[in-house]
Structure 1
């Protein structure tokens, strides 16, 4: 428990610092984080005798994130041309498979693309939260992280205190409906508090984002649990002592970040 608490403390400090230190640190940090998550995803598959194309997958992950991120730094048509080059790098996934002696080439191709969709694309959306508006604004990604952590902590504490009814026992035996509603309620409370200090949105909109994070983030957690159970593993890795792997820590972000960005895009435009 002590190791878990120390790791959690430094994890929070690093995550908040990545937002507070400006756009270049923000972009660089989440590029690194997305690629580490992608590598962890491919590594888990390889441990289960599956063969995603790790080098080409990582190359695509780096380029996709950079190409999307540069749309916030460069003006069209340069940024659009860089995005179009993704078609070339993605074709390498198919082309390189021709030279591999594998009995399941399309399974390898499918898992390579799945890693990009599951581990890189969500971080592209989370990164985009920092650039809603005319310039970099760390309030949106910071608020997202605070509400995500509030939901996770609230669900854990409420579930331990009141948890009786299983939420989705087949994939996550410890999760309960009481914990789910407790997590959403605490995230909504944090969203309301955030509205007092971050006045880019009305309190109703911040609370709505908290509810989205609570509902969709829990689904992301269940999906990641389903993924681990399908591979018969407990933790996605050991990079965070006491917390498991990076995918374990960001499972709630992976599905909720694209939904939150979409919501913010429509209400701010």
Structure 2
């Protein structure tokens, strides 16, 4: 438990530092984070039925994220994202030479990793430029604090008061009581955010909290479904006591695109 607590504190400080320090550190850190999560995903799904083209997929993800970030940092045209087209084509071409029984399973796993991992991190990154033209740390910071509040509330309430299982087939430890605790603490965190970060009115912060609670929970369940289908306990071991980075950011994968869509509509 002590190792788990120390790891969690260090992890939180690193993430907060990357968001608060500068836009360039924010960019570099989350490109690296998405890349590491992507390689964890590829490691999990690789088996006899399909082996993703790991290096092409990682290069595609880094290039796409980097070009997208350059749009905000240097005014690069979004048209430059078309430079990823040769890499996408290469995913298909390489499979011609690998002589595997199910090449399209390899192709599907490779491209799915970019969609499932990189695009959500790009959505989260975009939050830093959603409310203002220049980088503003408040939305990414608020998102992470609400997400952590949801996870903490769900864990504590579920551990001490959980009785009714939420989704036993996928996650035998998650309960309805834990879900309620997560929503409650997420909403409380959003009200605190609304008091200090007035770039969004209170009702929008509350909407963000509800979206994070719902889609964050589903994101956790989806990653659990992935690991259970591949008979893997953790996505990795880079965080002692916590598993892999993908285990720590599974809630973000579905929540970030949903929050971005909500804010793009209401702002």
Q: TM-score range by the shorter chain?
A: over 0.9
Preserved CA contact (<8 Å) 1:150 1:186: yes
Q: Distance in 2 between matches of 1:72 and 1:267?
A: 21
| 1:13 partner SS | helix
Deviates more, 1:167-176 or 1:257-266: 257-266
Asked if 1:69 corresponds to 2:69, the answer is yes
User: Any idea what the Cα deviations from partners look like across 1:158-192, whole Å, max 9, x if unmatched?
Assistant: 11222111100000000001110110111001000
Aligned match of 1:41: 41
Preserved CA contact (<8 Å) 2:49 2:102: no
Preserved CA contact (<8 Å) 2:31 2:65: yes
Deviates more, 1:90-99 or 1:26-35: 90-99
| 2:225 partner SS | helix
- Give ranges in structure 1 of 5+ residues lacking alignment: none
Aligned match of 1:164: 163
Aligned match of 2:210: 211
Deviation at 1:215? 0.5
Query: How has the CA–CA distance of structure 1 residues 237 and 201 changed in structure 2, closer, same or farther, with 3 Å as cutoff?
Result: same
Aligned match of 1:184: 183
Preserved CA contact (<8 Å) 2:91 2:107: yes
Asked if 1:15 corresponds to 2:15, the answer is yes
| Residue 97 (structure 2) aligned to one of 76, 99, 120 | 99
| 2:97 partner SS | coil
| 2:46 partner SS | helix
Aligned match of 2:111: 113
Aligned match of 1:140: 139
Aligned match of 1:201: 200
TM normalised by structure 1 equals 0.96
Deviation at 1:194? 0.8
Q: Distance in 2 between matches of 1:47 and 1:15?
A: 32
Preserved CA contact (<8 Å) 2:68 2:78: no
Q: Distance in 1 between matches of 2:203 and 2:79?
A: 38
RMSD of Structure 2 on Structure 1 (CA):
1.1
| 2:51 partner SS | coil
Aligned match of 1:259: 258
Preserved CA contact (<8 Å) 1:48 1:231: no
User: Any idea what the Cα deviations from partners look like across 1:3-60, whole Å, max 9, x if unmatched?
Assistant: 0000000000000000111111100000000000001111122366631001111110
